[in-house]
Amino acid sequence: MPLFGKKKEPAIEQISYEIFGGLTIIKNSAGYEIRWKNPVPSTIMVSPKPLIDADIKTSQEGDITRILSTECKLIITKKEGITEAKISSLWSLSS
């Protein structure tokens, strides 16, 4: 018999950014740091490696990944204390 009612579902927060000019992903001890300028410099930390769609152009130098595509969408999802990131094309071509 519950004492205080129904258990709450964990909240899922999702934020989307349109990025023009590319971004940089740096692996460090705390996870992955994503940096971009849109129009001011912005930074966010995520714990698992960001998911990058196959149609996004990238270059890798050690622990630094550069997104070379000039127009992309960054989707940040926060759930149960974990921050995840997905990078996809801003303009999806559908037939």
Give tens-digit pLDDT for 19-40: 998 899 999 998 999 999 878 8
Q: What pLDDT digit, counting tens, does each position of 46-61 carry?
A: 989 999 999 999 999 9
pTM score of the predicted model: 0.81
Q: Which long-range contacts (CB under 8 A, 24 or more apart) does 6-14 make?
A: 10/79, 10/80, 11/79, 12/77, 12/78, 12/79, 13/77, 13/78, 13/79, 14/75, 14/76, 14/77, 14/78
